[in-house]
Structures are given as structure tokens and as C-alpha cells.
């Protein structure tokens, strides 16, 4: 394969990576957005979840504040803004949730607790998806960050 074919293949592969990461980014962002909106739509559900999973009695004002932050994070991830930080925060936040639900994840059939909780197991591939998004962030070419970087490099210099 000659150099021009090799470069074209790399550009094609990069576009496919970019498209795959766009799909992954939007899906993960919507995932977070749903939980952020829930904190406003049904705050009592979030209060109960914090009590059940974390053993913390969260006031509704805190739930609203966390919901607002989660919505901002979700939007940043969906559009690909501040990728290094937004993807890392998404990974860490979901990682904390996975750790808090570990007892439910390791017993999906309820053999220990007596109550099946197999839906919590879905958090593990979501965590893997957040990790993949973070690790591949530099290949996320259809993101706001990438668009801003390419736009600034095309701006002609002023005389």
C-alpha cells in the first residue's frame, strides 16, 4: 500500500472512530440527562435512592443542585465540550454509582439478598463505555471541542 492509500485509510478509520464515539457520547449523555431530569421531576425518588444506596438523607435543595450539575455534565458530554474533564467526571460519577451498588451487582439473582436486582448489572457495561469514551477522547472528531479547534486554526490572521 502506498503512502496516499495509507493516509486515506487512516482518515477513513478516524471518521469511523469519530462516528462511533459520537454515538457513544450521545447515548451516555442522554443516560445522564435522564437521571439529571429525574432529580427535578421526581426529587423524592432521588432522596429515597440516596438514602437506600448511600445511607445519606439528602435535602431536596441538594437534589436539585446535583440535578442541575448532572444536566450540565450531560449536555457537555452530548456535544463533546471540555472532553478531558466532562468525560472524566462522567466516568468518575458513574464509577461511584457502580461502587455504591456493588452489593446489588454481585448478586443479580438475589441468592444472598433474596431479592433479584439484575438490572443493576447494566451499570457495568455503561461504566466500560464511559471508560472507552474517556480513553478515546482524542479521536472524537465530531465534537464541539474538535470543531472549535479546527475553526480557530482556519481563522485568518489580522494584519
Question: What is the reported pLDDT for 151?
Answer: 82
For residue 133, being part of any structural domain is answered with yes
pTM: 0.87
pLDDT computed for residue 8 by the predictor: 63
d(CA 99, CA 19): 30
Domain presence at residue 148: no
In a domain, 158, yes or no: no
Number of domains in the chain: 1
pLDDT at 22: 98
Decide if 7 is inside a domain.
no
Sign of the Cα torsion 106, 109, 111, 115 reads: positive
Residue 100 lies in a domain: yes
Q: Which residues of the chain have pLDDT under 70?
A: 1-9, 154-159
Nearest to 131 by CA among 21, 30, 36, 31: 21
Instruction: Give the domain extent around 119.
Output: 22-138
Residue 101 C-alpha cell reads as: 451498588
Amino acid at each position: 500500500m502506498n503512502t496516499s492509500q495509507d493516509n486515506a485509510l487512516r482518515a477513513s478509520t478516524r471518521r469511523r472512530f469519530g462516528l462511533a464515539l459520537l454515538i457513544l457520547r450521545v447515548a451516555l449523555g442522554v443516560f445522564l440527562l435522564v437521571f439529571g431530569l429525574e432529580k427535578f421531576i421526581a426529587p423524592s425518588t432521588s432522596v429515597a435512592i440516596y438514602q437506600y444506596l448511600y445511607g445519606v438523607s439528602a435535602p431536596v435543595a441538594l437534589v436539585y443542585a446535583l440535578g442541575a450539575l448532572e444536566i450540565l455534565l450531560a449536555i457537555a458530554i452530548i456535544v463533546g465540550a471540555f472532553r478531558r474533564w466532562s468525560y472524566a467526571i462522567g466516568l468518575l460519577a458513574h464509577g461511584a454509582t457502580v461502587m455504591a451498588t456493588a452489593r446489588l451487582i454481585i448478586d443479580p439473582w438475589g441468592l444472598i439478598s433474596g431479592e433479584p436486582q439484575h438490572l443493576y448489572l447494566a451499570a457495568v457495561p455503561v461504566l466500560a463505555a464511559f471508560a472507552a469514551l474517556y480513553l478515546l477522547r482524542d479521536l472524537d472528531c465530531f465534537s464541539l471541542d474538535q470543531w472549535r479547534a479546527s475553526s480557530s486554526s482556519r481563522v485568518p490572521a489580522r494584519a
